[in-house]
Structure 1
């Protein structure tokens, strides 16, 4: 329900829940919020907003700072230098996006 309705349940659904279920929902909501705040180098990342799978496995990224060699598939490497753009697998570069090295 948290992922479908957000952090506040509609009144008609809340009315059907018993007190332990409401407490469980509130604790889950608080834990999820704390976890999402811990992602993205302190900036937070709202996991509930983008729940559809990506249409493409590759994304175009731009380097915001010099990083150096970055290993990709099958032993290949890419040199990540400030202001260069690359077309990379999303799964390979998500952590660099969260760190602010790529956008």
Structure 2
């Protein structure tokens, strides 16, 4: 759960955890943050497998505003589609803002 998404206390998954599991999750998340702080260029929450395609087609599921990438600015409005670099939008896909086509 921590590797693939942010901890959100309002999610169904979090609500299904026992108090001991919630405490463990918070402590584990804190450890990840501390460890990541030593080597800031390492993304421990990213995928461990290389992307199959460098660029992908995505559809916007929820409005997310503008995002800035090295290839330009994208205005993410619901139901719009873009051809973007996978690394630039991977986190938005994990958070449910975008869907890979």
Structure 1-normalised TM-score? 0.50
Separation in 2 of the partners of 1:84 and 1:71?
16
Separation in 2 of the partners of 1:65 and 1:86?
14
1:95 is matched with: 91
Name structure 1 gaps, 5 residues minimum: 1-36
1:2-59 deviation line (CA, Å, top 9, x unaligned):
xxxxxxxxxxxxxxxxxxxxxxxxxxxxxxxxxxx3223577xxx68xx4x3332001
Q: Secondary structure at the match of 2:98?
A: coil
Between Structure 1 and Structure 2, which shows a larger proportion of helix residues?
1
Rg larger for: 1
2:24 aligned with 1:59, yes or no?
A: no
1:22 is matched with: none
Separation in 2 of the partners of 1:69 and 1:54?
24
Higher normalized contact order (CA 8 Å, seq sep 6+, divided by chain length):
2
Name structure 2 gaps, 5 residues minimum: 8-12, 14-46
**How far 1:68 sits from its partner (Å)?**
1.1
Runs of 4+ with deviation above 2 angstroms: 40-43
RMSD between superposed Cα atoms in Å: 2.3
- How many residues align structurally? 61
2:55 aligned with 1:81, yes or no?
A: no
2:5 aligned with 1:40, yes or no?
A: yes
